[in-house]
A = this chain, B = another copy of it.
Amino acid sequence: MKPAARLYVEAPLAPGAGVALTEGQAHYLRSVLRLEPGRRVLLFNGRDGEWLADLGELRKSGGVAVAVSQRRAQAPEPDLWLLFAPIKGDRIDTIAEKATELGAARLQPVMTRHTVVTRVNVERLQARAIEAAEQCERLTVPEIVEPRSLREALQGWPDGRRLFACAEAGPARPMAEVLAVGPRNAPSGLLVGPEGGFSPDELDLLRELAFVTAVGLGPRLLRADTAAIAALALWQALGGDGDRRPPQRIEN
């Protein structure tokens, strides 16, 4: 029978390992999906691959599942960071969800001059990312880090990682043209500004840095969430693992 759910857990996964399920997971399995003990589910923890597991007891306060066998081995994933200026409302949740589906490894909110939002609920974004990772069949969950200023993020930028800054104003090369000539799966970052765009001094700063390449996403002005999704999709297609197919579905 097809596994009835796919859950991210923190515990190690090994044959026979009992894995504690949180109150939220137990509630979801029992009251939303209406699953009984004995049903088969999938578990992953970001380190040990994906496991078939059998549900044990589900109580109000939590539950347990027992790992049976590994279905997919852990495999390297693209080393892609998304730096984005936080935006209002649902749109920031959209970024967390879509960035997860599109294989970002890390999400870094950055505060820029025209950023209107002052508080970022990192826990809420992390929950959304976990949900999206469970759904899209990733073997990892992206890390959502605490907001930093754009300047700080750039000052601490690691050697050997390029940063593609999506810029609507000023000179920039088409992102597809830039990515077409780069190596695949190189450590990379994408930077997307707020609805108001980057300020002129931010654009100047970005253009001074050797690891930054200003890239364009076409002639229309994209909302911040659209720009983030478009840039992620392009990077994966041209610079990441977009040449791979979903596992387990090739023969359907």
Contacts and interface: CB of A to CB of B under 8 A. Distances in A.
Interface stretch (A21-29, A144-152, A231-239): A231-239
B220 A138 contact: yes
A172 interface: yes
B102 A226 contact: yes
A238 B218 CA distance: 11
A127 B103 CA distance: 32
* Copies per assembly: 2
A70 B217 CA distance: 26
Interface in A196-221: 200, 203, 216-221
Interface in A79-97: 90, 94, 97
Interface in A149-186: 168-172, 174-177, 180
A101 B221 CA distance: 7
Contacts of A251: 170
Which of A219, A223, A250 has the most chain B CB atoms inside 10 A of its CB?
A219
Contacts of A101: 220-223, 226
B135 A223 contact: yes
Contact of A174 (B135, B242, B252): B242
Given A136-B220, A176-B237, 17 more contacts: A97-B223, A98-B229, A101-B222, A101-B223, A102-B226, A103-B220, A136-B222, A168-B246, A171-B250, A172-B245, A180-B180, A218-B240, A218-B242, A221-B246, A233-B233, A233-B234, A234-B237
14 contacts: A90-B90, A101-B221, A102-B230, A135-B223, A136-B222, A168-B249, A174-B243, A176-B238, A218-B236, A218-B241, A218-B243, A219-B241, A229-B229, A230-B237
